[in-house]
Amino acid sequence: MEPTVNQFQVNPEDSKEKEAAQISNIVVFETIGTLLVIYGALAAENNFGLSLVYFISLILFGRLSGGYFNPICTLIGFIDGGINQKKTLTFVGSQILASLIAGMLIMPLFANSSNLPYYESLPTHQVLGTLMSEIAGSVIFFTFVQIQQAENTKITTTQVQSAAFISIIYFVARQYTATMGNSLFNPAAAFGLQLFYGIYYGRWNQMINLLMFVMGPWIGALLAITFYWKIYTPTLVSKSSN
């Protein structure tokens, strides 16, 4: 049993004009939606606030662009067959653009905040622990993202239900990070905001955080994708055949 995706499924009969319109929607609304999520991380004072902003972003921009807001979620959509290569690259480019805009234009508004995302003053011996907790949270989040994106394994059906479900998983997964309040499980956001710390503050030593907040989500996502395809899906096949 192969997982199938019906939402945003590639249609070979789409005209060039329709595809061009879809690409434009991705560039505009995926950039805005990703900016909103990053803004939520800067402005929200707690995990619930950020999860609520994430839910609002999914509701507002989910049907307009796809509502991935994260290169890893985009990769999962590509693996599942929900988006083609051209749209995948457009999604990722828009997400990176949003992170750079956030780092250069939005982050300075919160420069004096005591709870900046991705800013840490950790001794070396704590870096590994933070990396492991980042991986753990990412495994939880991206496992359920993978399950929800595939049509015959998704847990909810409507857009509102799906947005609520993913936002709740986002909230739960962030509880497992040692730096709760600072992580978005989003390597594009981490990269863009780290550049801000280097340029605005001149604190290039913060680049160590790229190890935790860029590599951590990718490692967690790799484990989540492997679990889904090698364990979760075969188990469903075995149960359905019995």
Query: ∠ CA 180-185-190 to the nearest 5 degrees?
Result: 95
pLDDT tens digit sequence for 2-45? 554 444 444 555 577 888 888 999 999 999 999 999 888 888 87
Amino acid at 83: I
Distance of alpha carbon 220 from alpha carbon 24, whole angstroms: 31
Q: pTM for the full model?
A: 0.84
Residue 58 has a pLDDT of 93
Asked if 34 and 64 touch (Cβ cutoff 8 Å), the reply is: no
Element (H, E) at 69: none
Residue 178 has pLDDT above 60, yes or no: no
Element (H, E) at 236: helix 233-241
Distance of alpha carbon 219 from alpha carbon 209, whole angstroms: 15
Distance of alpha carbon 10 from alpha carbon 19, whole angstroms: 10
123 DSSP 8-state letter: -
The torsion of the CA quartet 31, 36, 42, 48, rounded to 10 degrees, works out to -140
Can you tell me whether residue 152 is helix, strand or coil? coil
Distance of alpha carbon 62 from alpha carbon 55, whole angstroms: 10
Distance of alpha carbon 213 from alpha carbon 188, whole angstroms: 10
| 69: alpha, beta or left? (left if phi > 0; alpha if psi -120 to 50) | left
pLDDT tens digit sequence for 76-122? 999 988 899 999 999 999 999 999 998 888 777 776 666 666 666 66
- Measure Cα distances from 48 to 43, 146, 180 in Å: 12, 23, 11
Query: ∠ CA 143-88-70 to the nearest 5 degrees?
Result: 45
Q: Which residue has the higher pLDDT, 144 or 50?
A: 144
Residue 150 has a pLDDT of 85
Distance of alpha carbon 194 from alpha carbon 208, whole angstroms: 10
Amino acid at 217: P
Amino acid at 177: T
